[in-house]
Structure 1
Amino acid sequence: MKQGDARKVLLAGASGTIGRAAARALIGAGHEVTCVLRDSASGREAAEALRDNGCAVRFAALSDAAALDAVFAEAAPQAVMSCIASRSGSPRDARAVDHDANLALLEAAERSGSAEHFILLSAICVQRPRLAFQHEKLRFEARLVESPLAHTIVRPTAFFKSLSGQVKRVRAGKPFLIFGDGELTRCKPISDDDLGRFLALCVTDPDKRGQILPIGGPGPAISLKEQGAMLCELAGREPAFKSVPPGMFTLALRVLSLGAPFSEWFAEKAEYARIAHYYATESMLVLDPASGTYSAEATPEFGTETLREHYARLLGAPL
């Protein structure tokens, strides 16, 4: 990047793994980065590492318009990047984070007078929205597209972290859990650092403005069964699988939905069952709206880090 291309960037969500990777990439690209964090134990812990990396840190709740305006006035960012996302996916959290918090950040950016570009980390699964957090993400995306600020919406496929939940299980000699025959879904997972670098490119690449950008890591697209076979091989074990029928989540959803109108607890548990069924049956690839099928070929690839390398690091195994 040329020296004149350096931007002042305000980053929200820098306490998460993707946000931290984005911060590293932005600093590495020569940008001046201010991270806005909640004044909490986790926020203060994240702040130390971010400062060590070269970022400025300011504490403000995104729901506090006055505090947020003060952060914008001090940082004077030209670009705003949001890596925030609800953690539970419950309807209440999704509304509060995926929509309301992002909206507060966007409105502060619009008031600031300095910001001209808003970069949003979204998710590829919003192509076929059936879950509360997907609808809230889309509701904010629609508002962002209508903003006077330029926008870039990045929709990544699966993350390495989301595909690493069974490492300990396989290491302990237990079978790898699959849904159905393990070939119901496919994805092109992308590493934190590769996604961080892609997000950083969006700051200065004019071709990425005004765009909704699906992005995956290096291919080929991989099924759940192939993930399990790879993990077992790297652990020095013969592949062993245990099949879980996706229909069990549908049954749980039906039972929990009976109490959902009367209890927030039942409503949240019903949503979790809906989430589990969705990820057990839907691929994280670009969806062809004409055919209604997912396309590995149409899913862009970026970066160099592979899932195999990630698994090998976690297991301490040679490639």
Structure 2
Amino acid sequence: MTLANPTPRRVALAGASGTIGSAVLRRLEADGHCVTVLARGDLTDPAVLARARAEVVISCIASRSGAPDDAQAVDCNANCALLAAAEAAGAGHFILLSAICVQKPRLAFQHAKLAFEKRLGESAIAHTIIRPTAYFKSLSGQAKRVKGGKPFLIFGDGHLTCCKPISDDDLARFIAAAIDNPAMRGKTLPIGGPGPAISLKEQGELLFRAAGRPARFTSISPRIFTIAERILRLGAPFSSWFAAKAEYARIARYYATESMLVIDPATGEYSADLTPEYGSETLESHYSRLFSGV
């Protein structure tokens, strides 16, 4: 999908300090685009985009915590401000990095992302919405546990969820490819890395293999997050701290029980076959690099 010789464009990039945003910045510069990196304060200033003469605006911003207030402020409000600035500056294309989990919205950040997706779809600016599956970074949180000889934590039997994770660089190439691809305009595009889909237990097995250690697992019931959420919710009406902690418990339960795959509209079930694949880097090769120090 990446063009061999992409036409250089003037691109404004928001969220370049993040993991995916920084990968997108590297890809854009490698492809010869003229990139203006937007600071948080630039998002509401159309003059910044006007000075940059931005033809394309790419947003990789996202709430870091997922707490309701932060999700509304970043996933919705900040993106709305950026879109308004892009409209005022005359940009012609807005590319949004969203998330595949919004197809089953139960969390504050998912509703905030969907609210902005709706606003973007109603804009006169051509748009592309990209919904990736899991990132390699999010599936590497237990690497230190495994390296330290501790068991890998799974939920239930470890096969409650599956995903097709995509690497930072492969996702960045996919995002950059949307700039001059008419087939990607006006579309909402789910995207995963090369298959097959992998379960949580299989992720652990790959980690142990990369570490050269025998696989060891400890199972946790996802019900612990339900119990925690119910307890914390009691204090939510009186304290933003309790409200945020209750949301974190809901987030943990969601990721412990929901797959990061496309939902088959005919069955309502997650489908690995319907989840598009892109790129070449696998989670196994990523884990190998983690333990080799490369």
Shorter-chain TM-score bucket reads: over 0.9
| Residue among 206, 210, 213 paired with 2:186 | 210
- Structure 1 counterpart of 2:193, one-letter code: G
Preserved CA contact (<8 Å) 2:42 2:48: no
Q: CA deviation at 1:2?
A: 7.5
TM-score (norm 2): 0.97
CA distance in structure 1 between the partners assigned to 2:13 and 2:26 by the alignment: 11
CA deviation vs aligned residue, 1:281-301 (integer Å, no higher than 9, x gap): 000000113311000000000
* 1:5 pairs with 2:7: yes
The match for 1:225 is 201
| Residue among 154, 157, 174 paired with 1:181 | 157
The match for 2:57 is 80
Q: CA deviation at 1:74?
A: 1.0
CA distance in structure 1 between the partners assigned to 2:216 and 2:153 by the alignment: 9
Displacement over 4 Å in runs of 4+:
1-4
| Residue among 16, 19, 41 paired with 2:18 | 16
Show the 5 A alignment for 1:129-278. 129-278=105-254
Q: Identity of paired residues, percent?
A: 66
Structure 2 unaligned regions, length at least 5: none
* 1:294 pairs with 2:266: no
Preserved CA contact (<8 Å) 1:152 1:212: yes
TM-score (norm 1): 0.89
CA deviation vs aligned residue, 1:136-161 (integer Å, no higher than 9, x gap): 00000000000000010000000000
Q: Structure 1 stretch 4-13 or stretch 204-213: which is displaced more? A: 4-13
- Structure 2 counterpart of 1:231, one-letter code: L
Preserved CA contact (<8 Å) 2:47 2:89: no
Show the 5 A alignment for 1:9-158. 9-38=11-40, 60-62=41-43, 65=44, 68-113=45-90, 115-158=91-134
- Structure 2 counterpart of 1:228, one-letter code: G
Structure-2 change in CA distance of 1:249 and 1:197 (3 Å): same
CA distance in structure 2 between the partners assigned to 1:221 and 1:30 by the alignment: 34
Structure 1 unaligned regions, length at least 5: 39-59
CA distance in structure 2 between the partners assigned to 1:229 and 1:4 by the alignment: 40
CA deviation vs aligned residue, 1:17-68 (integer Å, no higher than 9, x gap): 1001111111122211111124xxxxxxxxxxxxxxxxxxxxx343xx3xx2
The match for 1:43 is none
Which secondary structure state, in structure 2, belongs to the residue aligned with residue 118 of structure 1?
A: strand
The match for 1:51 is none
CA deviation vs aligned residue, 1:194-230 (integer Å, no higher than 9, x gap): 0000000001111000000000001110000000011
- Structure 1 counterpart of 2:217, one-letter code: F
CA deviation vs aligned residue, 1:56-106 (integer Å, no higher than 9, x gap): xxxx343xx3xx222112101111000000000000000000000000000
CA distance in structure 2 between the partners assigned to 1:4 and 1:183 by the alignment: 41
Which secondary structure state, in structure 1, belongs to the residue aligned with residue 64 of structure 2?
A: coil
Which secondary structure state, in structure 2, belongs to the residue aligned with residue 250 of structure 1?
A: helix
Q: CA deviation at 1:5?
A: 2.4
Preserved CA contact (<8 Å) 1:234 1:317: no
CA distance in structure 1 between the partners assigned to 2:207 and 2:170 by the alignment: 21
CA deviation vs aligned residue, 1:242-292 (integer Å, no higher than 9, x gap): 001000000001111111112111110000000000000000000113311
CA distance in structure 1 between the partners assigned to 2:176 and 2:30 by the alignment: 9
Preserved CA contact (<8 Å) 1:15 1:37: no
RMSD of aligned Cα (Å): 1.4
